[in-house]
Amino acid sequence: MQIQINTDKNIEGNERLVNFYTSELKNELSRFDDKITRIEVHFGDENSEKFGKNDKRCLIEVRIAKKQPLAVTDFADTIEKAFFGALEKVKKVMGTTYEKMREA
């Protein structure tokens, strides 16, 4: 499973940030490891330097072998909250998708 972390110009994408989120994704989605080929995470700040409620965005796109990519987005006041919100959504979607794949 390949993991790629992307940030917009308003969020600093340092090595510590990349390592933390990569580790979290691997831990939380490990049961789907054999199905996932790549995960892309996109962090953004919707209103740049201005302060706003729920202006941090996290989009997680999961690519599954021989399937269409799955994408979820979450907004929060910090990138950490947005990430964990999006991660919960991805786990639910992956669980449903995985069950459908097993039934087929």
70: closest CA among 56, 45, 46, 87? Answer: 87
Rounded to two decimals, what is the model's pTM? 0.89
- All domains of the chain, ordered by start, with CATH? 2-103 (3.30.160.100)
pLDDT for the residue 50: 64
Given a cut of 70, the residues of the chain with pLDDT beneath it are 48-52, 104
Amino acid in the structure at residue 20: F
Looking at residue 82, its pLDDT comes to 96
Give the separation between CA 28 and CA 35, rounded to whole angstroms: 14
> How do residues 17-47 score in pLDDT, each as one tens digit?
999 999 999 999 999 988 899 999 999 987 7
What is the per-residue pLDDT for 26?
96
Whether the CB-CB separation of 80 and 93 falls below 8 Å is answered with no
pLDDT for 14 equals 87
